[in-house]
Amino acid sequence: MSRSPRSGPGKRCRRPAARSRPRVPRTPPPPALQSRPPSKKLAATLAEEEARHPGRPVAVFCTDEHRIGLKPVTRRVWAPRGQRPTALGHHRYEWLYVTAFVAPATGESHWYVGNGVSKPLFERLLAAFAREAGAGPQRTLILLLDGAGWHTKPGLRVPDGLRLVYLPPYTPELQPAEHLWRLVDEPIVNQHFKTMAEFQTLIEARCRHLEDDPDTLRHHTLFHLWPHRTKPI
């Protein structure tokens, strides 16, 4: 049987009593930044354009990019009980960038597929979109987009008849176009593609299919705060 060491005859060493430390109140975490929906800014821009050009059609679009490629996209699927579903996959880092311009109020959309992002390329996409959507003296387009470097000025040429409205920083949840990418991914989920050409052909076909289905696009992108025309055409 072991005994504790003694400091003197008949005495045992005792540990000093732990001193109570003053409790420092824990600093509460800062409240999460709440971004303000851009609906008021869009509505103000819409009203301004309608007042500037009475009778001219005005449409509000949004745009974003989606990077996809030969790296597999996986999702959960139904399977018989006791069986684990399998999906072929071969990780390769070759990418395509899908750029979509969609009008949530009507489902009108314009799609482009490229192999990168840059300011000169985005200028060409804006020009193509403005031309195909009819921006100019006969129609005004308002475009909601994020503040990515290739989306912003200086040095970005914007076609006539097109006005850009930017989202607050770090607010992808306010971008209706973000809801398009799950639709774009549907035919490639849990699939394996041997070549980028095969993959690109399928993605282009998918974009054409979505462009011909405005009701589905409208259902997924029309936020309840999305502005509408204040005057009939």
**Structural domains in the chain plus CATH codes:** 46-74+88-221 (3.30.420.10)
Q: CB 54: neighbour CB atoms within 10 A?
A: 7
C-alpha 194/C-alpha 206 separation (Å) is 18
pLDDT of 232 reads 45
pTM: 0.79
DSSP H or E run through 42: helix 39-52
pLDDT of 224 reads 85
Contact 109/217 with Cβ under 8 angstroms? yes
Q: What is the largest CA-CA distance in the chain?
A: 107
197 Cβ contact list (under 8 Å, min separation 6): none
pLDDT greater than 90 at residue 102: yes
pLDDT greater than 80 at residue 165: yes
Q: What is the pLDDT of residues 12-51, one digit of tens each?
A: 555 555 555 666 566 555 444 444 457 788 989 999 999 9
pLDDT of 219 reads 96
β-bridge mates for residue 63, sequence order: 101
Q: Is residue 139 helix, strand or coil?
A: strand
Burial of 47 (0-12, 13-18, 19+ CB in 10 A): middle
Q: What is the pLDDT of residues 72-99, one digit of tens each?
A: 899 888 989 999 888 888 889 999 999 9
Q: What is the pLDDT of residues 51-74, one digit of tens each?
A: 998 989 999 999 999 999 999 899
Q: What is the pLDDT of residues 118-146, one digit of tens each?
A: 999 999 999 999 999 999 999 999 999 99
C-alpha 165/C-alpha 146 separation (Å) is 8
